[in-house]
Amino acid sequence: MHHKLTRRDFLLGAGTAAAGLALGACVPPATPTTAPAAEATAVPVGGKLEWVNHLSAYPPSQPVWDAMKQGFEEKYPGWELVDYSMDPNEMTQQVVMMATSDDVPDMVMSDYVQNATWAYAGALEPLDDYFSQEVREDYVGWEVSVVKGKWYGLTMNGGTLIPIWNRVVLEMAGRDPDKAPSNIEEFEETLAAIAELGTDEEGNKIWPFLTDVYQHYVVCLRFLPFVWGNGGDLWDEQDNWTVNTQENIDTLTWFAGLAEREWIPVGTKTQDNRQIVAKDLAGGYIDGPWAKGLWRDLSGIGDEFYSHTLPSTYPDGKAGISPSIVWGNTIVMMKGSKNKEMAKNFMEYITSTPEILKTYNKEMGHLSCRKSHLRDDPYWEGDWWNAGFKEALLSARGLHWGIPKFQAGLEEVGRAVQAACQGKDPKAALDDATVRISEMQE
């Protein structure tokens, strides 16, 4: 049973929370795994384990939650898993308020942005003492949830943002539908060939490529791997922002040129882009594995649309690399939890049990969060979708979410990218972003 936690329900339950604290289906058979085992902990007699999430009320994910709840309660008799669904747009503020109340949940499903915010607010329990270093380092992107030297978020599912090409459009343009562009030269050649298609029979423009140049924060996430491929970065080893370097200016100049040639649109939203590519009106789009079911539903042809897709890594830049960004959900333990040892057991159980992770993959597209699973279990090479994302995920980079006001900095870089794509000089755009980021950190 899932519980929808409304804003009113929460405020009543939070009691003395201060408003001023708000901050800016069948389970497949198990497969043996070589994942490092977490340390055994004492199992309390029984009780309720509560966690807040934003997906348990989402119908396509129902088999995942059912598998988690049933498996966990069978493994730990006497324990009941109770989950509360919360609007993700309200979670960041409300979880901080929960931390000051008498009714604190044991765990929260989160993302990397929220982890940093909650850690700085003192709402989370560090996980360093609950998992060994060997176990911790087997999780994809574990280092992304380190804030001020402490580790707070256990990666819950594996994901990354990569180009997903449309085989139908590639073939229409005379390109090999089974081979994605592997470097920037091939990338440009492919986009130029698709641009020659013009429109479909109904007059709809066929876009060579899609990426978000609308929401500033999202813009930066999709643009950054091109920066890395060109040998640049937005931060140095001391976590200082390095936005307006020559490498970054060169990359933005090239990227803005794609918009100038109308090879990518400026101003379309994520949902618009998914609709366009699902209707075979674009050569490709940068998205994550969680979009698998969304694209299928938007296409109107069901599972047949999967044969239209070709996940790939980013094209290699002059640096000869094509890393993408680690992305996905995490699960955190609340500092005020009264069941910390059992919370640790649950966190380890749902992120280490192969049948649960495979159910997650089948229903929603996410990959395993454990590197050993991805390397050693043949399941993750079982189809083109998993194989494409697996390759990218194992080489993906994490972002520096522990930097104060990090998301605000990403927003400024995203604004610079959008401005350049709308005609502003790329160097001036990045210079302006550098000034604004510096002002924020003073």
Residue 376 has pLDDT above 70, yes or no: yes
Q: Does the pLDDT of residue 77 top 70, yes or no?
A: yes
Q: What is the mean pLDDT of residues 393-422?
A: 91
What is the mean predicted confidence (pLDDT) over 339-361? 93
Which residue, 150, 103, 102, 144, is CA-closest to 122? 150
pLDDT band at 39, cuts 50/70/90? low
- Model confidence at 296: pLDDT above 50: yes
| Residue 260, pLDDT score | 96
Q: Is the pLDDT of residue 21 over 60?
A: no
Q: Which of 24-33, 208-217, 298-307, 324-333 has the lowest mean pLDDT?
A: 24-33
Q: With CA atoms as reference, report the closest residue to 265 among 198, 200, 193, 206.
A: 206
Residue 50, strand partner residues: 82
**Average pLDDT, integer, range 289-315:** 89
pLDDT of residue 243: 97
Chain mean pLDDT for the chain = 86
pLDDT at position 55: 66
Residue 205 above 70 pLDDT?
A: yes
pLDDT, residue 57, reads: 66
Q: What is residue 335's predicted lDDT score, i.e. its pLDDT?
A: 95
Please compute the mean of the pLDDT values over residues 365-370 and round it to a whole number.
Answer: 91
Domains and CATH numbers, the chain: 8-19+29-158+328-390 (3.40.190.10), 160-326+404-441 (3.40.190.10)
pLDDT given at position 38 = 59
Alpha-carbon dihedral of residues 382, 383, 386, 392, nearest 10 degrees? 100
pTM for this predicted structure: 0.83
Query: What is the pLDDT averaged over residues 314-338?
Result: 91
pLDDT of residue 43: 62
Ranges 125-134, 323-332, 339-348: which has the least confidence? 323-332
In terms of Cβ atoms closer than 10 Å to its own Cβ (0-12, 13-18, 19+), residue 197 is: middle
